[in-house]
Structure 1
Amino acid sequence: MSMLWFNRNLSLFLSNRTCVAIAGLDYCVIAADTRMSVGFSILTREHSKIFQLSEKCILASSGFQADIRTLQKHLDARHKIYQHEHNKQMSCPAMAQLLSNTLYYKRFFPYYAFNVVGGLDNEGKGCVYTYDAVGSYERVGYSSQGSGMQLIMPVLDNQLKSASPLLLPAKESATSLTESEAIDLIKDTFASAAERDIYTGDSMELLVVNASGIRREYMELKKD
């Protein structure tokens, strides 16, 4: 048991880096950097932290790499079973609930993974769901996870000013930015985080989900 604990904690910082998502009225933008490292050692500069769950749903994760891969495989298997049984893909809100249930089921020995799910809901509106390690989640207009979160979230709070879910009547959680403005904002936040956070860098992978499908872009970040 002590060796299992040692091996698990030795690798806790594998892929424990930065991901960001912003939901708009008819789109969702999700991005993550591609650096994977342990402490001050960079293992690879081209590691994707984004996983496509369906045609309208994307998962971005930070945390322990082995747990993240296990979680992705589990969700992919459950989605394939759902498609065989219902002859359609799972919606983004349903996938968000499935992820919550999966994390809560493992709450006594949780996945060391901090997730953001983004995509389009049943009405074609952008949606972002943010999680803790044991499955508590919330639909928000934007979110960030990973080591760069403390640097990025204040900028997003200042620029997007998401409405409180406690306000009555309830306001739309999606931001009013256009798709191109949201992309530019995410690029700016990653460029800034890479200057201050040694675990964020190399390049940024960005996915845009809209009615036309999924588009992927890359942007170079600081290499040191």
Structure 2
Amino acid sequence: MTKEHANWSPYDNNGGSCVAIAGADYCVVAADTRMSTGYNVLSRDYSKICKLADKAVLASSGFQADIKALQKHLAARHLIYQHQHNKQMSCPAVAQLLSNTLYYKRFFPYYAFNVLGGLDTEGKGCVFTYDAVGSYERVGYSAQGSGSTLIMPFLDNQLKSPSPLLLPAQDAVTPLTESEAIDLVKTVFASATERDIYTGDGLEVVVLNRDGIRREYMELRKD
């Protein structure tokens, strides 16, 4: 097992990779479709992306049973919110809910590494990245999963996100157009697939903008 897989047990299901990029008026969330355990591929057409609200999409990598339990819990909490407030949660509200949910389970955490993407109340793209116990940050782009150590340096080189320590604070959204962001996501996955055995088979890309949500698919290598 190579160094980039050091944090991943060979018995994890659904390793893979997830990426999100926020733009001025859009957000792109993408994940590969391979579900595997060690060197066994269980499915080549499995979606790692879950729609939580009209303007919030969650991509998760990690242990499949924990991811499903987490998604089911979030869906139930969002349904309660809709009944109480007669509206859907905004993406920043979903981000706080996810953080609280993960932190509540911090002593027996969900083995799930999440990246949440969507549009905020002003219509700007937003991306929130998490660790396993709920610590999160709003960023311009992020990657999670077994391929993240390969993907993040590529994104850092291309997007050059401003430091959160800069004063005055700078907007974290990326300067790319929507089509450029989609092309970049496809490029980083094609690259990661060459080096990460848990990433491959297919790529699912979800694009959120003022017109709603649409999905695109691309083939990746299958070996």
Shared fold per TM-score greater than 0.5? yes
Match of 1:205 in 2: 204
CA 102–110 in structure 1, closer or farther in 2 if over 3 Å, else same = same
Structure 1 residues 107-186: aligned runs within 5 Å? 107-186=106-185
Cα distance in 1 for partners of 2:200, 2:134 equals 28
* Identity across matched positions, percent: 74
Cα distance in 1 for partners of 2:91, 2:203 equals 23
Cα distance in 2 for partners of 1:213, 1:14 equals 31
Q: How far is the alpha carbon of 1:155 from its aligned partner?
A: 0.4
Cα distance in 1 for partners of 2:220, 2:45 equals 12
Match of 1:106 in 2: 105
Contact 1:12 1:63 in 2 (8 A): no
Q: Normalised by the size of structure 2, how large is the TM-score?
A: 0.95
Q: How far is the alpha carbon of 1:17 from its aligned partner?
A: 1.2
Match of 1:5 in 2: none
Contact 2:10 2:39 in 1 (8 A): no
Instruction: Note the aligned Cα RMSD (angstroms).
Output: 1.2
Match of 2:72 in 1: 73
Cα distance in 1 for partners of 2:11, 2:171 equals 36
Task: Classify the secondary structure of the residue corresponding to 1:152.
Answer: helix
Contact 2:14 2:64 in 1 (8 A): yes
Structure 1 counterpart of 2:69, which letter? Answer: T
Unaligned runs of 5+ in 2: 1-7
Cα distance in 2 for partners of 1:142, 1:191 equals 18
Give CA deviations for 1:163-186 in whole Å, capped at 9, x if unaligned: 011100000000010000000000
Instruction: Figure out how many residues of one structure are paired with residues of the other and give that number.
Output: 216
Cα distance in 2 for partners of 1:97, 1:174 equals 19
Unaligned runs of 5+ in 1: 1-8
Task: Classify the secondary structure of the residue corresponding to 1:196.
Answer: coil
Structure 1 residues 35-46: aligned runs within 5 Å? 35-46=34-45
Cα distance in 1 for partners of 2:192, 2:51 equals 25
